[in-house]
Structure 1
Amino acid sequence: MLKIGDSKLINSWAFYDWANSVYSLVISTAVFPLYYSAVTEGKTVSFLFMDWDHPDSLYSYALSFSFLIVAFISPILSGIADYTGNKKKFMKFFCWMGGLSVCSLYFFDGIDTVWIGIVFTILASVGFWASLVFYNAYLPEVAHPEQQDRASAKGFIYGYIGSVILLVINLILIQKPDLFGLTSGMASRISFVLVGIWWIGFAQITFKRLPNNVYNKKPKADYIWRGFRELKIVAKQVIEYPTLKKFLIAFFLLSVGVQTIILLATIFGSTELGLETIDLIITVLLIQIVAILGAFLFSRISEKKGNFFALKVTIIIWMIVCFCAFLLHKDLPNVSIYFYSLGGVLGLVLGAIQSLTRSTYSKLLPETEDHATFFSFYDVTEKIAIVLGTFVYGLLYAITDSMQWSVLCLALFFLASLIILSTLKRTKYVQ
């Protein structure tokens, strides 16, 4: 078995980002939302014995529901996983669940099968986010504290590269279906299958080398109740460590901004700025490519200047992005060029902030064997932030009839996070 700090072990762990990131780009961001909108546009959808005149709202509710499921089950399952030492088994289960659910989206081929799209959207989302809880929890078990910034960045870099490669393949398939003897709808559905196969297939490289039951735990028969007890112990520790507790609050506030912008950037571009689909896809690709550089660059900055310094720099840039987005409007000459530029800046700090928050949290943890349970609190914090962020964004849009004010409001969450980060005391591994 490979030991902690071994480069082969770190690379194998990071490769799960290569495997699963195609879901977040192709399914969550680029291809599936556009396919769903095309199928349901101008139509009434029946689901759960109700008629939905606005199918896009049904889709957003389905995603919100999946986040709530993960927020509820991940602490419970993580407590059981830590007590039994079976993180890898849980991670495998949710990986297969997510990958097979994505493949099943192939059967969503028209208005009569919208229920298939909704049900498997929920299951795929739960599989993706739940598997990440256990994946992130492996970071302190594969890399030493001084290696964790680079290891975390490497994962995101692998993820961005892999997802861009498959997205380009899928876009060729969808844009030129005649070359493959397909219709455009069939090409989109095949792209969903490719995502599931890619996710499950490349994940096997990670599963082959990741250790299981690192601490040689031997669970007793009542492991479910003992798992709950494990959860209670960790919750108490989170409260008792002031730096860890404050960091989670700061992470919650910045996640409100980050995750809301990630989820709604393309909607802002299409609805508020009137951009074409091709402009939005180009921007998404640009963000992913620049994010590779951002994750690498800021991992080096954190090594020289410290995690807190690097995080504060990224947050300031996120605030600038919010302000610049507020100034954009559809009547602005060459608005697409400005949107591309904003996407480039966004990409620079997107990879950075996602990588740094994960490694910083890992380095702030106390000496513990309950890594999955600790990371479940990290994950729940992010999911609740998504729910709040999208709610605030939608509420302000409804009040002002402009997404510009919604974007500007997100800057306040970044500012609050910056203030809290500035109060955190340095630790042995986090400067």
Structure 2
Amino acid sequence: MTDKSLKRRVWGWMMFDWASQPFYTLLLTFIFGPYFASVATEYFAAGGLDEQIADAHAQSVWSFGQSAVGLFIAFTAPFLGAFADQTGKHMRWMYVFSLIYVMATYALWWTVPDGSTLWISLTAFCIGMVAAEYGLIFVNGMLPSLGPADEVGKISGGGFALGYAGGVVALLIMLVLLAENESGKTLAGLDPIFGLDAESREGTRAVGPFTAIWYVVFMIPFFAWVKERPVAPKMGGMAAALSGLWASVKSVARRPSAATYLASSMFYRDALNALYGFGGVYAVLVLDWSITQLGVFGILAAISAAVFTYIGGLCDKRFGPKPVILFNIWALIFVCTVIVGMSRESFYGIPLTEGSTLPDVTLMVLGAIIGASGGAVQAASRTMMVRHADPERPTEAFGLYALSGKATAFLAPMLIGTVTYMTSSARLGLSPVIFLFIIALILLRWVKPEGDQATWDGSSQP
């Protein structure tokens, strides 16, 4: 492969992150998620429930949908990855899941305000999320083939950085031109474009088709430039794939570095996801932020993520992924510690003057750190997984990685909910996340910086 074609393949691979990031930025976090919650609340309230109970029902429905997706992916991802490696047909799966993703996200347009399509919309969102996560497994599995080992960290960081940049652009477009607020205007004070009816929330509902069209357009470089290298399919089909998967699971148990890395990443990724989800809740419940402030918070965090994830990729190339992971986990512990001690009225027991902007400014800064460290640690984690993956079965390895990321997805929300209930404080409810990060740090002590590269390079099976 020539240098030019390899560079195009790398850029095509990174464009997946740009194309798919709006699902997480627009649908999961800042636009569709809050809109779905408001529609669900109105739907349950119309059924005779009071506002507080309707809010709880809406949150439960949204949480249940994501929990179901997480469990489904956790139990199916390793098998799917093993089968893909066995057959050697990765791109064929990418076409299938891309089609499902586009159809499911476009269908979110029909999430009408009266809630009559509530369950259909939730199902469509969950199907789209499964397709997005499956696509990510196959894309991650391609990472080892994109360059030499010392370049993988830079490539991984560049992909995540490009994805976060895409999320910023997509969020700006939605906030400025499409998503209407309570007054029917966008963030820029405009009517939603294309004559969309603000009263029917068509500007906000357009996030579904917008996300689908964005994906179709920006996946063109991926499918045009990421050519699958010819690989002879292995004999045995699904039975052989399952046998190989079981052998891989047993081999992980005999490789302390791989086993402790998967366990550590299980805890810190769970904590990070909880921190992502809690940031907006904390801002609303503790600091009484408006939707506009949340939008600015999201844009700032995403810009920070794009810049520092790229820098993290350079550091990954220079120092390796483990130091990058360690540094950023410590940064996230610092963020959580500050949040736990801060409220609208005081900062670690020191009273604040009425109307003080210190909490707002502090949370904005912390949001930038969350974006920067969260992006960097995710990119470095992908590189570290490459160092522990069998070069002959990379997609299977990332299927196991997906399993470890979803196996305890319930843990952080459960701990936060329990502590919040016991203390009656949304602020103190975040404290368990600190302990999850600390557990991850302890486990990382047994993770070899070079992973299992020596094992694979020596052609010896563990």
Match of 2:217 in 1: 201
Q: Which residue of 2 aligns with 1:359?
A: 383
In the TM superposition, residue 11 of structure 1 has moved relative to its aligned partner by 1.1
- Let me know the Cα RMSD of the aligned residues: 2.3
1:29 alignment counterpart: 29
Change (3 A) 1:8 1:112: same
- 2-structure distance, mates of 1:157, 1:205: 17
Q: Aligned letter for 2:244?
A: E
Residue 62 (structure 1) shift? 0.6
- Structure 1 stretches of 5 or more lacking a match? none
**Residues 257 and 451, structure 2, Cα contact 8 Å, conserved in 1:** no
Quickly say closer, same or farther: Cα 1:389–1:200, change in 2 above 3 A.
Answer: farther
State how far apart, in whole Å, the 2-side matches of 1:233 and 1:429 are.
16
Q: How does 1:105-184 map to 2 (within 5 A)?
A: 105-109=108-112, 110-172=114-176, 173-174=178-179, 175=186, 176-178=190-192, 180-184=194-198
The Cα of 1:119 is off from its aligned counterpart by 0.8
Give the match for residue 458 of structure 2.
none
Residues 228-268 of structure 1, C-alpha deviations (whole Å, 9 max, x = no match)? 11211221222222111111111111112111111222112
Change (3 A) 1:298 1:116: same
Letter in 1 for 2:290: E
Residue 78 of structure 1 pairs with residue 81 of structure 2: yes
Q: What's the CA shift for 1:43?
A: 3.6
Matched letter for residue 60 of structure 1: S
Report the Cα distance in structure 2 between the residues aligned to 1:407 and 1:63, rounded to whole angstroms.
Answer: 20
Which whole-Å CA distance do the structure 1 matches of 2:46 and 2:416 have between them? 27
Please give the alpha-carbon distance, in whole angstroms, between the structure 2 residues aligned to 1:123 and 1:72: 15
2:154/2:316 contact within 8 Å kept: no
1:94 to 89, 93, 97: 97
Distance change >3 Å, CA 187–CA 306, structure 1 → 2: same
| Counterpart-to-counterpart distance in 2, 1:156 and 1:76 | 25
Corresponding residue to 2:450 among 420, 427, 430: 427
Partners of 2:445 and 2:84 in 1: CA distance: 34
Q: Does residue 415 of structure 2 align to residue 392 of structure 1?
A: yes
* Alignment pair present for 1:383 and 2:406: yes
- Partner of 1:258, secondary structure, is helix
Q: Percent identity?
A: 21
Matched, 1:349 2:373: yes
SS of the residue corresponding to residue 427 of structure 1 reads: coil
Cα–Cα, structure 1 residues 362 and 428, in superposed 2: closer, same or farther, change >3 Å?
closer
Cα deviation, 1:127-147, whole Å, max 9, x if unaligned, reads: 111111111111012222111
Shifted more, 224-233 versus 242-251: the winner is 224-233
Greater Cα shift, 391-400 or 318-327:
391-400
Relative to structure 1, is the Cα distance of residues 40 and 177 closer, same or farther in structure 2, using a 3 angstrom cutoff?
farther
Contact 2:270 2:409 in 1 (8 A): yes
SS across alignment from 1:402: coil
Tell me the number of residue pairs that the alignment of Structure 1 and Structure 2 aligns. Answer: 424
Point out the structure with the larger helix share.
1
In the alignment, does 2:69 pair up with 1:66?
Answer: yes
Q: Is the 8 A contact 2:32 2:207 kept in 1?
A: no
CA distance 1:33–1:328, shift in 2 (3 Å): same
Q: CA deviation at 1:430?
A: 8.2
The CA deviation string for residues 368-425 of structure 1, in whole angstroms up to 9 with x for no partner, is 3111111001111111232222222222222222222232221111112112223333
Q: Counterparts of 2:4 and 2:72 in 1: how far apart (Å)?
A: 32
- Whole-Å separation in 1 of the counterparts to 2:408 and 2:224: 34
Secondary structure of the equivalent of 1:325?
helix
Give, in whole Å, the separation in 2 of the partners of 1:76 and 1:291: 32
Contact 1:295–1:355, Cα closer than 8 Å, also in 2? yes
Contact 2:109 2:208 in 1 (8 A): yes
Rate the CA distance shift 1:17–1:120 in 2: closer, same or farther, 3 A. Answer: same
Q: Distance in 1 between matches of 2:84 and 2:332?
A: 36
2:205 corresponds to 1:189: yes
C-alpha distance in structure 2 between counterparts of 1:321 and 1:3, whole Å: 42
Alpha-carbon deviation of 1:213? Answer: 5.7
**Does residue 1:249 correspond to 2:263, yes or no?**
yes
Indicate the residue corresponding to 2:428 in structure 1: 405
Paired letter, 2:240: R
